[in-house]
C-alpha cells in the first residue's frame, strides 16, 4: 500500500494483467454516462469526474483503485484529487485510457 499523495501509472496491459490475476482493485471510470454506455471495462464503477468531489466518500480510500477515462487526462486529474485532497492511499491512473484498452468491454448501462 502506497502513502497518500502517490499515484502509480499503469498501462492498459498492466491493468488487464492485474484483472487476469484476480485483483480486486476497483476500476473507477470517470467518463461521462454516454462514453460509459459506448464501452466500459466489465465490473468497473462509473463516477463521472464532475461527481468525484462528493462521490469519493462512497469509496474505500484504502482499496486499490485504478482510475480510467478515455485518454488518461481526466483520470489523472481525478487520481490527483483522490490521492491528495481525499487521502486515498492506493491510487493508480491507467495511461492512455479506454482508447488504448484491448481487454474485454461491456456496452450499455
Assign residue 53 the CATH number of its domain: 3.40.250.10
Q: Note down pLDDT in tens along the chain; length 109 residues.
A: 455 678 999 999 999 999 999 999 999 999 999 999 999 999 999 999 999 999 999 999 999 999 999 999 999 999 999 999 999 999 999 999 999 999 999 998 7
| Residue 80 maps to a domain | yes
| Domain with 19 in it | 7-100
Distance (Å, rounded) from C-alpha 109 to C-alpha 102? 20
| Residue 105 maps to a domain | no
Distance (Å, rounded) from C-alpha 9 to C-alpha 13? 12
| Residue 106 maps to a domain | no
CA 67 to chain centre: 2
pTM confidence score: 0.94
| Residue 28 maps to a domain | yes
| Residue 2 maps to a domain | no
Query: Which grid coordinates are listed for 102?
Result: 484491448
Distance (Å, rounded) from C-alpha 95 to C-alpha 91? 13
| Residue 107 maps to a domain | no
Amino acid at each position: 500500500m502506497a502513502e497518500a499523495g502517490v499515484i502509480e501509472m499503469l498501462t492498459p496491459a498492466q491493468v488487464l494483467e492485474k484483472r487476469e490475476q484476480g485483483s480486486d482493485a476497483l476500476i473507477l471510470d470517470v467518463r461521462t454516462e454516454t462514453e460509459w454506455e459506448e464501452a466500459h471495462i466489465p465490473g468497473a464503477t462509473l463516477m463521472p469526474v464532475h461527481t468525484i468531489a462528493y462521490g469519493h466518500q462512497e469509496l474505500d480510500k484504502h482499496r486499490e483503485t485504478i482510475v480510467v477515462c478515455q485518454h488518461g487526462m481526466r483520470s489523472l486529474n481525478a487520481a490527483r484529487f483522490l490521492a491528495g485532497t481525499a487521502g486515498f492511499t492506493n491510487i493508480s491512473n491507467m495511461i492512455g485510457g479506454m482508447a488504448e484498452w484491448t481487454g474485454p468491454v461491456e456496452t450499455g448501462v
